[in-house]
Amino acid sequence: MPELPEVETVRRGLAPAMEGQVIAAAEVRREGLRWPFPERLAERLTGRRVEMLGRRSKYILAGLDGGETMILHLGMSGRMTISGEAPGSFRHERATPEKHDHVVLDMENGARIALNDARRFGALDLWPTALIETHKLLAGLGPEPLGNSFDAAYLAERLKGRALPLKAALMDQKIVAGLGNIYVCEALHRAQLSPLMPSGALADPEPLVAAIREVLTEAIAAGGSSISDHRQATGELGYFQHTFRVYGREGAPCPRCGTPVERIAQSGRSTFLCPTCQSGLTPRH
């Protein structure tokens, strides 16, 4: 499932073609994805101007004039494609909708935006902009890890006294929004912290907060990680996967100490770590 860097990469790719632009025509080609689409979706999108294109956690938010926001989640395999003439490098003919293009937006500037989702685990909804934080997908989310509200003091308070393993705590979207398996594994390795340690035992969260910010920033700059389905809006792959330190590298040498990377199971998910660098509660020096 796309994590924060992949979704932010898609948002940035869509922005030149969508932000400030009017949806000249919307075509809805099925009744829904993971859940049914809202009623009269094509009618409610056609003629609307996209006033802003934002992101909250793993969701793209398209604020429309008229007081509604389109909420988009890419699910396991969803992607957004751009064709036609639009600002930037998009200078090719509008693509004919493909089999799994479920919502197609023709923008007044000539761009065609398609939501393609072969496995149909994604979601699209419309919600009053003024009440956006009450939507079931957004209500209760923790702060953005790249925002000012996420800092060492906040994390220390949220983890205080908790026995939950540190990795599981970081993947709890109510504690911090947008993190998933890949970037938690990578951040914990950089901070030299065990994913198995009780989260409440973290004495100084500052190195971990710094590592999370560093990993996410680098991943966004690299266009995210393309392991299976992720594509940028231009169709290009992300390439942060080429710089993974531990994720998916079982048996390979740790780039810090040379110890073979191990894979363990946590809550049904694979966790990758260096058993030497990440053996304790505090960073090794």
Q: Which of 55, 56, 58, 158 is catalytic?
A: 58
Q: For residue 64, count other CB atoms closer than 10 A to its CB.
A: 20
Q: Is 285 exposed, middle or buried (0-12, 13-18, 19+ CB in 10 A)?
A: exposed
How close are the terminal C-alpha atoms of the chain, in Å? Answer: 34
Q: Which of 2, 5, 143, 165 is catalytic?
A: 2
The question of whether 58 is a catalytic residue gets the answer yes
* Nearest to 7, CA basis, from 170, 276, 232, 281: 232
The question of whether 160 is a catalytic residue gets the answer no
Q: What is the b/e burial string over 131-143, where b = at least 16 CB atoms within 10 angstroms of the residue's CB? A: ebeebebbeebbb
CA distance 7 to 138: 15
The question of whether 3 is a catalytic residue gets the answer yes
* Nearest to 200, CA basis, from 225, 177, 224, 175: 175
- Cβ proximity of 118 and 146 under 8 Å: no
Q: Which of 12, 51, 269, 275 is catalytic?
A: 269
Q: Which residues are catalytic?
A: 2-3, 58, 269
